[in-house]
Amino acid sequence: MEEKITFSVIKADVGGFVGHSAMHSDLIEEAKRRLGAVQEQGMIVDFHVTACGDDLQLIMTHHKGIDNEEIHQLAWEVFEACTEVAKGLKLYGAGQDLLADAFSGNVKGMGPGVAEMEFAERKSEPIIVYMADKTSAGAWNLPLYKMFADPFNTAGLIIAPSMHVGFRFEVHDVKAKKRIFFDTPEEIYDLLVFIGATGRYLIKAVYTKDGEIASVSSTQRLALIAGKYVGKDDPVCVVRCQSKFPAVGEVLEPFTMPHIVQGWMRGSHYGPLMPVAVHQATPSRFDGPPRVIALGFQVAYGRLIGPRDMFDDPGFNEARRLCNTLADQLRCHGPFEPHRLPMEEMEYTTLPQVMEKLGDRWEDLPEE
């Protein structure tokens, strides 16, 4: 039996350049230097450091399994070191996502976003890592549904014998802290009842029906951890492709139809999720629109062959153009819904403070 490899993506916003729009190269260099040093000692097999907007992304392979304390501590220490670099440059929001004063066992619940999976490498192992900025963890629900359960997106569900049986979705209720599994296609109507509510029910993982991991997402919701608005979740998602999983093109296809996600300016607006090349993942217009990048790797004996910048393709030009049209239309609404999030969704923003301040000025309506 081949040794299993763990694929870990751990990310945090530890300082933006300029404002919340992008990443300073000094942070990338610091993270590369530190991960390079531990790679030499053999703790990790390989790594790739990148950024989506103001989020620093550590993509690592190792043999220690998911939720491993040493790997999480390593990521935490890299984020702390990069925070120091950010402070030296007075970058914006230095250390923003490090919600705890010190590391305690697992970065989950401490601010950073985490998506990890462990698997035995196949003969060839194509993987796509999605990373988003200016949006929340629910942004993956719709594209994951399309990739793994929608035959209008994924032709293989109909015509590939290996996929015709469908997949199993693991859905988390992040408010009640519960989880449930749904088999597709049998239970798609039940599944959609929940995952359509993207603020609460998040697709954590997708498996083949015989239990092999196909996809995993970060489901950490910063506001639920901190109890107030401290920045958007800016989630990540890892998807294995080809053969018994959807093809690379089927995994990318959902992003040709820009869907509307929560986030954008002050984490308080709906906007289209724009698929872009890494060098375009610099949300500046009204701190957005929200961005998603896709890096493709071939994993070979734990080594990360790549990346290929999958959205750096004219095939996504039309989606980007449509995003700008949708962005114009939504921006016309200014502070009105449906551009601004509804009250219930603003629970964890600055709005409650304004409402509290004005609380006493509300009078009862006269009797009719």
Give yes or no: 309 in active site. Answer: no
Residues 19-48 that bind Mg ion (CB under 5 A): 20
> CB–CB of 95/230 below 8 Å?
no
Which of 126, 138, 156, 267: binder of ligand F6R (CB under 6 A)?
Answer: 267
Which of 11, 62, 134, 291: binder of ligand F6R (CB under 6 A)?
Answer: 134
Alpha helices in the chain (DSSP H): 25-40, 69-88, 141-149, 156-159, 188-195, 222-226, 248-252, 317-331, 351-358
Residue at 285: amino acid letter: R
- Considering only the stretches 200-208, 210-218, 259-267, 322-330, report the one whose residues sit in contact with ligand F6R under the rule CB under 6 A: 259-267
- Helix/strand/coil (H/E/C) assignment for every residue in 27-63: HHHHHHHHHHHHHHCCCCCEEEEEEECCEEEEEEEEC
- Considering only the stretches 31-39, 64-72, 193-201, 258-266, report the one whose residues sit in contact with ligand F6R under the rule CB under 6 A: 258-266
Lookup: tokens for 348:
């964890």
Closest contact distance (angstroms) between CB of 19 and ligand F6R is 6
Beta bridge partners of 7: 61, 117
Q: Residue 19 touches which of Mg ion, ligand F6R, none (CB < 5 to 8 A by kind)?
A: ligand F6R
Is position 231 an interface residue for ligand F6R (rule: CB under 6 A)? Answer: yes
Closest contact distance (angstroms) between CB of 334 and Mg ion is 23
- Residue number of the CB closest to ligand F6R reads 287
Give yes or no: 232 in active site. Answer: yes
> CB–CB of 146/254 below 8 Å?
yes
Q: Residue 55 touches which of ligand F6R, Mg ion, none (CB < 5 to 8 A by kind)?
A: Mg ion
- Considering only the stretches 22-30, 42-50, 143-151, 263-271, report the one whose residues sit in contact with ligand F6R under the rule CB under 6 A: 263-271
Structural element, H or E, at residue 167: strand 167-173
Give yes or no: 13 in active site. Answer: yes
From residue 192, give the alpha-carbon distance in Å to each of 202, 207, 216, 307, 330.
11, 17, 18, 33, 25
Is position 221 an interface residue for ligand F6R (rule: CB under 6 A)? Answer: no
Which of 11, 20, 24, 340: binder of ligand F6R (CB under 6 A)?
Answer: 20
| Strand pairing class (113-120; 167-173) | unpaired
| Strand pairing class (291-300; 274-275) | parallel
Candidate list 229, 233, 234, 309, residue with the active-site label: 229
Binding site for ligand F6R (CB under 6 A): 19-20, 93, 134, 231-232, 263, 265-267, 287
